[in-house]
Amino acid sequence: MKQVGRLLFLMMILLGACRQPTERLEGYEIHGLDVSHYQEVIDWDAVMMQDIDFVFIKATEGQSMKDHRFKRNWKVLGEKNVRRGAYHFFRPTISAAAQAENYIEFVPLCVGDLAPVLDVEVLDKTNPKTLRKGMKTWLNKVEAAYHIRPIIYTNLNFYEDYLKGHLDDYPLWIARYNNRPPSLSDQQKWHFWQYGNRGQLLGIEGHVDFNVFYGDSTDLAKFCLGSD
């Protein structure tokens, strides 16, 4: 019984830690956020006063879903001194070509904007080979449309289980909620790191994801349209 009590105590500590606000990391020059309709209406004037260098916005999901906050967020950020980008949440059982079209038709990337992002987090009861084939279709179509190589977003465990050793030519944005940077077992380099999902900023109600970029502003520009 004492052992069970200790286990319950440790679980409570871990649960409490997960609920703690995410503190901004030191030691990185470039800081960013990612947002979607879950953040509701954002006061971007207030947010931009807090040293934010880039923002990724959810644009689309699957074949037809379009984030209803995207257009406003995209327009307002286009008027700010910040790098903006748009991501698509991938559904492996739905036509990858149709998902690419959903994104391409909805997202008006301009010179200076960050490369498109493919957010891959679920198998949806398919298999890893089918997942990767669909990802490649989406990535190829979107790269052809915007003339820049997209970024792949995923969490560390999903990468290790399903993506390691595949699609190695694409920049990586890795989610790992920890103070220690992601370490990929195949030695691939991450470029963006989502290190917490309980960040708090003036101008945003509730929590927001905190990210950093591995590099400086000159390096970040290389991941933007018109960087050649």
The residues annotated as belonging to the active site are 34, 121
CA-to-CA distance for 111 and 188, rounded, in angstroms? 28
Q: Is 117 exposed, middle or buried (0-12, 13-18, 19+ CB in 10 A)?
A: buried
Q: Is 53 helix (H, G, I), strand (E, B) or coil?
A: coil
**Cα separation, 69 vs 83, whole angstroms:** 18
- Report the run of H or E that residue 35 belongs to, with start and end: strand 30-35
Which residue carries 């289980």 as its tokens?
161
92 neighbors 119 (Cβ within 8 angstroms): no
